[in-house]
Amino acid sequence: MNLYIETSWGSVNKYGEELCGDKVEILKKGEDTFIVLADGLGSGVKANILASLTSKIAITMLSEGAGVQDVIETMASTLPVCKERQIAYSTFSFIHIKHNGETHLVEFDNPDTVILRDGKALFLPREEYVVSGKKIRETHITLKPNDFCITFSDGVVHAGVGKLLNLGWEHKNVVEYIEKSYRKESTAFYVQNLLLQACKSLYMDAPGDDTTVAVCKIRTPDIAYVMVGPPLSAEDDEKIVNALINFNGTKIVCGGTTSQIVSRISKRELQIMLNYISPDVPPIGRIEGIDLVTEGVITLGKCYDILKRYESGSIGRDNMLNSKKDGASQLAQMLINKCTGAKFVVGRAINPAHQNPDLPISLNLKLRLVSDIAECLKRLGKTVEIEFY
């Protein structure tokens, strides 16, 4: 089975530094996912260069099939030697996850990567050997859906040093926190962001070191087919609706007229739910076989607001992603938590009412909203496609 690897990463710079001395590269090639996290020696520009070179070289060579030995030798000969310290140095963690979950993990001098299964950290037996004077730790494991792979730089392990915690956070405590805050429906973004928030708080907003977290969540692929708006040409109606009905994934319809078309062609009744959860969001509808039916433009606009709030990382009381049940919230919940990607099928028919200058809605607005939502989802680690009709 082809698994979907949802990825997300984030960084907080050392206090006072403009450039981050940690670098993460993520590459998806075909059915493989490659991730590299590098932590450059020192901080600022030098560290940034070291880390960038390391991660770039590593990801390029690995994705081309090079062996670990080759990669390290190349790095050793490429990295500029620091004049003061007379060494060229950057840590690295390579993660290669195949479409079936087979994972190859290679680490040098970074804190141990954590694999989380059902909320508990797995013990990873690691093989140690030396290449070009570097002590490498390697492991192989097959990951299953809903497993998390969490890798981070030293900044996380030292969070709080000199402030709240004498010895810093310490790896074992970081693992404990990850386990304690685990929630099955968390996205890769959520986990990465929460860890960074905790680090920021422990450092009291003045990190003593560049702090980076990269997270992969293994998921069974679930693409959402989102039909937005009637196609320009009525002849395409049947084609698109059939594609929707027969789609292997989550099925979403956005739009009043659109849902009526779907109802007509699929010969299934469209019911509108009269209970307004939120007076500003139009009610949702129901068609048998469709996962979610909402109104169009207004719902999409509000959904985008929710996605932006989620992305801004204001987790906690400001993030009501999981609790509300109105059309926009349900749409956001589905796109983020349930699905690993979205395929937007956007009809370009113009609703004459929307041309009324009194109303602030238009076709352009709808199209713009869809593309904004798509970009946001991509940044959150989802695969997105848009088709126009």
Partner 1 sequence: MPYKTMQIKLLNPSKSKRDLLEDAIDRYSTAFEILLREIKSILPAVLPPKTELLKLMDKNFFKCVSNLGVEPFKDALKIDLARLLAVYFSKKSSYPVTRTFDEDIMALLDGEEKISKPKLDAAFEKYQKKRPLLFCRFDEKRDYSIFQSEKGTYFAKLYLFNRKNAQNSKRYAVFPLDAAEWQQKFLNDMKSGICTPKSAELIQKKDEFYLNIRFWYPALPKHHFSAYIGIVRGINSDLYYAVSLKSGEIISTGSINVNNIYGLNKFHSLSNEIIRLAKENKAYIIMENLSTSNDNLKMKGLKVPLSVGDYNKIAFLVSYKAELAGLEIAFVSANSIFYRCTRCGNFKRANRFLKDKFICTMCGHSDNLEEIGSSNLAKTLITYKNNKIPVYYKAEENSIVFRLDILDYEVVCAKSLSAANEFCERLKNHIALNINNFSKHQQFTAKKLLGENAFSKINFIEIK
Partner 2 sequence: MVDVCVCVGSSCHMKGSYLVIESLKRLISLNNAEEKVVLKASFCSGNCTNGVCMEICGEKITNVTPQKVESIFNEKILPLINK
Residues 317 and 315: their CA atoms lie apart, in Å, by 7
The backbone region for 251, taken as left when phi is positive above 0, alpha when psi lies in -120 to 50, beta otherwise, is beta
The option from partner 1, partner 2, none interacting with 356 (CB < 5 to 8 A, set by class) reads partner 2
Closest residue by Cα to residue 303 from 281, 273, 277: 281
DSSP notation for 96-134? EE-TTSEEEEEEESSPPPEEEETTEEPP---EEEEETTE
361 lies in the binding site for partner 2 (CB under 8 A): yes
CB of 53 to partner 2, least distance (A): 52
Q: 100 vs 257, which CB is nearer to partner 2?
A: 257
The option from partner 1, partner 2, none interacting with 129 (CB < 5 to 8 A, set by class) reads none
357 lies in the binding site for partner 2 (CB under 8 A): no
Closest residue by Cα to residue 9 from 67, 59, 66, 80: 59
Inter-axis angle of helices 236-245 and 256-266, to 10 degrees? 80
295 lies in the binding site for partner 2 (CB under 8 A): yes
The label of the residue with tokens 């078309």 reads 261
Residue 292 is encoded by which pair of tokens?
């979610």
Task: Give percent helix, percent strand, percent coil of the chain, each to the nearest 5.
Answer: 35, 30, 40
356 lies in the binding site for partner 2 (CB under 8 A): yes
Say whether 276 sits in a helix, a strand or coil.
coil
297 lies in the binding site for partner 2 (CB under 8 A): yes
In the stretch 246-265, what mask flags binding to partner 2 with x, by CB under 8 A? ---------xxx-xx-----
Q: What is the DSSP letter of 359?
A: S
CB of 275 to partner 2, least distance (A): 10
337 lies in the binding site for partner 1 (CB under 8 A): no
List helix spans (H) across the chain: 45-63, 68-78, 154-157, 171-180, 188-202, 236-245, 256-266, 297-311, 327-333, 363-379
277 lies in the binding site for partner 1 (CB under 8 A): yes
Give the H/E segment covering residue 345: strand 341-346
Residues 369 and 340: their CA atoms lie apart, in Å, by 20
197 lies in the binding site for partner 2 (CB under 8 A): no
Closest residue by Cα to residue 231 from 257, 269, 266: 257
279 lies in the binding site for partner 1 (CB under 8 A): yes
Phi, psi dihedral angles at 58 (to 5 degrees): -60, -50
364 lies in the binding site for partner 2 (CB under 8 A): no
Residues 281 and 301: their CA atoms lie apart, in Å, by 10
The only residue of 278, 337, 362, 371 in contact with partner 1, by rule CB under 8 A: 278
In the stretch 176-215, what mask flags binding to partner 1 with x, by CB under 8 A? xx--xx------------xxxxxxxxx-------------
Q: 122 vs 359, which CB is nearer to partner 2?
A: 359
Q: What's the burial of 22, exposed, middle or buried (CB within 10 Å: 0-12/13-18/19+)?
A: buried
The option from partner 1, partner 2, none interacting with 81 (CB < 5 to 8 A, set by class) reads none
329 lies in the binding site for partner 2 (CB under 8 A): no
In the stretch 211-250, what mask flags binding to partner 2 with x, by CB under 8 A? ----------------------------------------
In the stretch 333-352, what mask flags binding to partner 2 with x, by CB under 8 A? ------------------xx
The only residue of 276, 318, 364, 388 in contact with partner 2, by rule CB under 8 A: 276
The site for partner 2, by CB under 8 A, has a size of 26
Residue 308 is encoded by which pair of tokens?
């932006």
389 lies in the binding site for partner 1 (CB under 8 A): no
Q: Give me the residues that bind partner 2 (CB under 8 A), please.
A: 255-257, 259-260, 270, 272-274, 276, 279-280, 282-283, 285, 295-298, 351-354, 356, 359, 361
Residues that bind partner 1 (CB under 8 A): 160, 164-165, 173, 176-177, 180-181, 194-202, 277-280, 305, 315-318, 324
